[in-house]
Amino acid sequence: MAKTAFVFSGQGAQYPGMGKELYDCSPAAKKVFDMAESIRPGTLKQCFEGTKEELSVTINTQPCVFITDLAAAEAVKEKGIEPDFTAGFSLGEIAAIAFSGMLSYEDAFRLVCRRAELMDTAAKENPGAMAAVMKITPEQTEDICSQFKKAYPVNYNSPAQTVVAASEEEIDELCEKVKAAKGKAKVLAVSGAFHSPFMDSAAEGMAQYLEGVELKTPVIPVYANCTAEPYEGDYKKLVSQQINHPVRWQKSVENMISAGAERFIEVGVGKTLTGLIKKINADVSAVNIENKEGLDALE
């Protein structure tokens, strides 16, 4: 029997007005947004009315994207559709573990707010840059990164796209080497070098924060960014290490497909993951749900 996976979008997909239609058309989504507003007043205003600049600040981006992701998932569930598997890209993984029952939504939202603070501080104390590398293989990208002191492949997105993190001093030269290898490189407008050793202090801070948090066994399998396998073993280690380790997105999607996933529903902001999934395997169904039109089209 065909199985369904919910995939939760990550930081970088945010835009002004995100989630407003979900709030207006879905009681389940509204409940999630109102919960966030009670914990962090101003969250709704940022999601629905915030400027692009305001939403690009990490301490705002992460809570707003996270809650829009969860609201979208609850709106889809409200229509009677539930997943067999879940996964989230970077920040989206926290939404996935919450939806899968590992954390209450309230505790997960507080965790995301702390995660954002830790990553924002790490980015300011240890600045770096990121670039999307396309048209060459992940192995070629790894080889180019190995030629620099502080350069790392950090997002294995699809067969032809790998995102790298590097020092601000090295990023331009790295991009030139990519072009010399017949690839394409685009420096990303991000505030830090995420999923790399530049984030070590944030990962350590998250490990400390998690000492006071209980993570339950997931009701729905969650595929972890670090391993591309369902969560097992030390849950807290997976959540903290995710901050300074690569996102193995392509492998996660491939493993869900191997486990029977034929339909992927991207819940939350944008359609980045939908596009990546289609590049990973064109034979599976992939749609994104972020507004009323998407919800109404679901069957």
Beta strand extents in 107-257 (DSSP E only)? 129-134, 151-158, 161-166, 184-187, 222-223
Q: Give percent helix, percent strand, percent coil of the chain, each to the nearest 5.
A: 50, 15, 35
| DSSP category for residue 51 | -
CA distance 133 to 149: 18
Quick check: 121 and 166 in contact, CB under 8 A? Answer: no
Residue 268: closest CA among 42, 15, 2:
15
CA distance 234 to 275: 31
90 included as an active-site residue: yes
- The alpha carbon of residue 16 and the mean position of all alpha carbons in its chain are separated, in whole angstroms, by 18
Of these residues, 195, 240, 245, 252, which one is catalytic? 195
245 included as an active-site residue: no
Quick check: 136 and 153 in contact, CB under 8 A? Answer: no
| Beta carbons within 10 angstroms of residue 38's beta carbon | 11
Specify the residue for token string 């995420």: 194
Of these residues, 90, 100, 240, 252, which one is catalytic? 90
Residue 88: strand pairing partners:
8
The interaxial angle of helices 27-39 and 105-125, nearest 10 deg, is 60
| Beta carbons within 10 angstroms of residue 42's beta carbon | 12
CA distance 33 to 16: 16
- The alpha carbon of residue 262 and the mean position of all alpha carbons in its chain are separated, in whole angstroms, by 21
User: Residue 26 belongs to what H/E stretch?
Assistant: none
Residue numbers annotated as active site: 90, 195
